[in-house]
Amino acid sequence: MNLPRTLFDKIWDGHLVHEQDDGTCLIYIDRHLVHEVTSPQAFEGLRVAGRGVRCPEGTLAVADHNIPTINRAAGITEETSRIQVETLERNVSEFGVPYLPLNDSRQGIVHIIGPELGFTLPGATIVCGDSHTSTHGACGALAFGIGTSEVEHVLATQTLIQKRPQNMRITVDGRCGTGVTAKDVILSIIAQIGTAGATGHVIEYAGPAIKELSMEGRMTVCNMSVEAGARAGLIAPDEVTFEYLLGREMSPKGGAWELAIADWRALPSDENAVYDREISLDADDLVPHVTWGTSPQDTLPVTSRVPNPESEVDAGRRTSLERSLSYMDLVPGTPLAEVPIDRVFIGSCTNGRIEDLREAAAVAAGRQVAQGVGAMIVPGSGLVKEEAEEEGLDKIFVDAGFEWREPGCSMCLAMNADRLEPGERCASTSNRNFEGRQGRGGRTHLMSPAMAAAAAVTGHITDVRDLIDK
C-alpha cells in the first residue's frame, strides 16, 4: 500500500530524474517560458559554452516586461529596451525557440499567455525567469520562478537541480460575498501569514471558496503565492480546469486529450495526505482588502484605518512600520477609504485577464474617472484585448475616461514608460507595493480590479460594495 500523496508529491515524483543520497533532486521541466529581461545572459552563457537548447518545443518566448503599451507601430523608441527585445529576437532565432513577436495577437504577459494558449497543462512542471510563474499552479501545474543561471540550466538540460520543498495547505471555507474577489482572498492570506510565511513551501489552496473560483480567479490567488514567500502555489485540477483548457491552441486534442484528462483526474491529493503545515480561513467574513504600506503583508480590510506604529511592540517592526508610513505619506488613524489617489493601474499577471476587466468595467460603466485622476487599463495579452473589445469593454472604459492600452507588464514594475512620478499615489491591481516599484517615490495601494475601478471613479480608496447595487 502506497502512502497517501499530495498533488505536489505526485507531480514532483513524476518528474524526478535522479535523487542523490543527500536529497538533492534533478527534476525534469516540461515547459519553459522565456522573456526579454532575464534571458539574455542565459543565451550568452549557452553561446560561450557551445551549448544548444535541449528542448525548443517545450520552450516559448515572448517580450512583455520592457515594451511600450501605446503606439506600437512606432517600434520601441527607448534604446536599451529596444536592444533587449532585439537580443531576445536574435537569440530565439539562433537557438530555434518558438517566439510570439510583438505584432502577434497572442503576444502578452508570460503568465497570461501560458494558460491561455494551453501551453500550461495540469501535472506539468513549468518554470520561467520570473517569480510570478506561480500563477500557472492554478491549472494544477507545479510552476515556479527561477533566476537567469537556472534559465540557462533549463535551456541546456531541460532539468533543474532542486531540493524538495515542503507541503502546505491553505483551506478557504465559505464563499466570497458580493464585491469580494480572489484578490481579496490572497491579500488576506498574505496579511495573515506574512511575506515569509510560506518560505520553503509549496502552497496547495483548497476548500469550497477556492473550488468556486473561475480559472482567472485561481490564477490571481496562485500568482501572489510568491508574495507569501512560497516556492509555488497549486490548485487541484477539476472540471473548471478541464473546461478552460479544452480546445486551446496548444492543449492536447482528440485521443491525446482523453488520455491526458484521465491522468489529470488522478492528480488531486489523496485523502489523508499529510501536509507539513495547515492553515485555514473563512471567506464568509471577508471584505475587500487594500495595502497601506510597502510590503504585500501590509494589508487591511478597506473598512479599517491606517495603523499606528505605537501599538507595535517589536522594535524592529515598529521602525519598519514608521518607515513605510513615512514613505506612503499616511497618518495613523486615517480611514483607508478616505485616502485620495492620483493614478489607477488595472492590469498585470495578477489581474490582467478577461474576468478582471469585466469586473472593472461593471464598476466603470456609466461613471466617470474622477477629476485629476489618470487611469489606465492594460490587458494581459492580445487575446484578452480582443475578447474585451468583442464584448465592448474597451468602449465602456474609454467612455468613462480610462486609457485603453496594448498588452504588457506595464506599470506593475514600471520598466517601460508607464510609471508613477515621485509622490504619486496609485490604486493598482498588481502584486507588489515595494518602495519605488511603480516608479521612484511612487506610492502603491494593491487591490482588486473592481476596487481599483471604484477608486478611479471616486478619486479615493473606496469600498466597492458601496458602488454595487445590493
Partner 1 sequence: MDKFTTLTGVAAPLRMINVDTDRIIPKQFLKTIKRTGLGEFLFNDLRYNPDGSEVAGFVLNQSAYRNAKILVAGDNFGCGSSREHAPWAILDFGISCIIAPSFADIFYNNCFKNGILPVSLPEEQVSTLLEGAESGANAIFTVDLDNQLVTGPNGELFEFEIDPFRKHCLFNGLDDIGLTLEKIAKIETFEQKRSVQYPWL
> Which residues ranging from 109 to 168 are in contact with partner 1 (CB under 8 A)?
121, 123-124, 129-131, 145-150, 152-153, 156-159, 161, 163
What x/- string results for residues 253 through 292 when contact with partner 1 is judged by CB under 8 A? Answer: ---xx-xx--x-----------------------------
The closest of 46, 5, 6, 12 to 29, measured between CA atoms, is 12
Q: Residue from 5, 56, 83, 238 that binds partner 1 (CB under 8 A)?
A: 83
| Contacting partner 1 within 219-238 (CB under 8 A) | 226, 229, 231
- Segment contacting partner 1 by CB under 8 A, of 77-85, 98-106, 217-225, 334-342: 77-85
Minimum distance from residue 162 beta carbon to partner 1 (Å): 9
The closest of 78, 80, 32 to 53, measured between CA atoms, is 32
| Contacting partner 1 within 320-349 (CB under 8 A) | 320
- Segment contacting partner 1 by CB under 8 A, of 13-21, 67-75, 366-374, 400-408: 13-21
CA-to-CA distance for 110 and 378, rounded, in angstroms?
14
21 or 469, CB closer to partner 1?
A: 21
- How many residues of this chain bind partner 1 (CB under 8 A)? 72
CA-to-CA distance for 316 and 435, rounded, in angstroms?
18
Q: What are phi and psi of 48, to 5 degrees?
A: -65, -40
The closest of 350, 210, 363 to 291, measured between CA atoms, is 350
Centroid of chain to Cα 386 = 21
Instruction: Read off the C-alpha cell for 30.
Output: 516540461
CA-to-CA distance for 275 and 277, rounded, in angstroms?
5
| Contacting partner 1 within 170-209 (CB under 8 A) | 195-196, 199-200
CA-to-CA distance for 78 and 65, rounded, in angstroms?
13
User: Using the rule CB under 8 A, is 77 a contact of partner 1?
Assistant: no
41 or 304, CB closer to partner 1?
A: 41
- Segment contacting partner 1 by CB under 8 A, of 30-38, 96-104, 330-338, 346-354: 30-38
3-state secondary structure of 201: strand
User: Using the rule CB under 8 A, is 382 a contact of partner 1?
Assistant: no
Q: Residue from 80, 103, 311, 371 that binds partner 1 (CB under 8 A)?
A: 80
Minimum distance from residue 167 beta carbon to partner 1 (Å): 15
Q: Residue from 17, 246, 398, 468 that binds partner 1 (CB under 8 A)?
A: 17
Contact between residue 159 and residue 27 where contact means Cβ atoms under 8 Å apart: yes
CA-to-CA distance for 230 and 322, rounded, in angstroms?
27
Which residues, 6+ apart, have CB-to-CB distance to 2 below 8 Å? none
